[in-house]
Amino acid sequence: MAVIDISPYSGEHCESTALLNMLRNHDVELSEPLIFGLGQGLSFLYWHSKQMPNPFLAGRVKPDHLMRNVSDALGLELLAGETTSPAKAEATLIAALDEGDVVGLKLDRYHLDYARENHHFAAHYVACIGYEDDRFVVVETRSLGVQSTSRESLARARSARGPMSSRNLSVRVRPRGYDESVLAKACQSSILATAQEFLSPPITNMGFKGIAKAGSLMRGWHDRLDRPLEAMGAVGTSMEEGGTGGGLFRTLWAQFLEEAYELTGIEVYDELAVEYRRISKCWTDVANLLRDADDAAARRSLDEAASIVDALAAEERTAMVRLEEASR
């Protein structure tokens, strides 16, 4: 079989990129920021378990939820399947591709032929758009574009275990009776749900409370972490370059709010888009302070970064309160 004839899109974030290509194959054209926002994509999580060498700062909703949220918001049918059998997983994928479907695959990119990573992350998404001979063709995010990888490497990547992993998860989408007239209301509902989750997180590591906690704990990284400079560099790079679109996903959110304003006419969305572009730059400043620090300036850089994060906790809370009020 040849590659499915679509114009592949390589975006900022893996899950939104995969879903965009799946929808494009059904002639549903949505921008990546719109998909991110409709998926209630903006969030915050601070996590550092005993098994983790470095803290983790996440700015997005948990993996898999973005696709589900978009599907619920737009009335799409999402067909997700898992299996413990690599052979069955491959056969199911080939059958879907033969039917002309673009398929979202959750995997650990570390195992793929073209991978550049030196770390594992088993909750990465690609859009598979075809296969030829012994290789599969996938659409990656912006830095990698369209790639091909061997069936053996794809099998290893899909069956990889680890935090947030799945069992050879594949996803297909059916637009059913999709009507773009629902977009305005869907934006409003998604913004409301995102704001409410952010303002009332289930644990103190999430939402605006999680940001405040991150700022407090960050000051002690130099003394508590085994290799503080290495950890700071890894965290900063992940925040800015780990498929976030810059500014810990806040740039994507700002772009979504701009589109939501155009669709709904709610002026607060336009005002908060400007505010989130400023907030995004602040998160980029934090990332740069962490990854550019040296031995002499490590403590000072952590203090500066933590002070910015402290302020961001209050600023993002205020922004989300306004979004919640405007979206009711």
Domain 14-30+77-174, second-level architecture: Alpha-Beta Complex (3.90)
* Residue 295 confidence (pLDDT): 86
Burial 85-98, CB ≥16 within 10 A → b, else e = ebeebbebbbebbe
Supply 193's token pair. Answer: 């749900």
* Residue 155 confidence (pLDDT): 98
Rounded Cα distance, 196 and 175, in Å? 28
Specify whether the CB–CB gap between 250 and 276 falls below 8 A: yes
DSSP H or E segment with residue 295 = none
Supply 238's token pair. Answer: 């992940």
- Among residues 107, 120, 99, 96, which one has the least CA distance to residue 14? 107
Q: What is the dihedral of CA 46, 52, 55, 61, to 10 degrees?
A: -40
Low-confidence ranges of the chain (pLDDT < 50): none
- The amino acid at residue 42 is L
DSSP reduced 3-state for 132? strand
Domain ranges of the chain: 14-30+77-174, 180-327
List, edge to edge, every strand of the sheet that includes 146-150. Answer: 77-81, 170-174, 103-107, 124-132, 135-139, 146-150
- Among residues 237, 282, 265, 239, which one has the least CA distance to residue 327? 265
* Residue 1 confidence (pLDDT): 62
Rounded Cα distance, 164 and 298, in Å? 31
DSSP reduced 3-state for 80? strand
Q: What is the DSSP letter of 181?
A: G
Torsion angles phi and psi, residue 296, rounded to 5: -70, -30
- The amino acid at residue 217 is L
Q: What is the DSSP letter of 294?
A: -
* Residue 325 confidence (pLDDT): 98
* Residue 119 confidence (pLDDT): 85
Torsion angles phi and psi, residue 265, rounded to 5: 75, 10
DSSP reduced 3-state for 317? helix
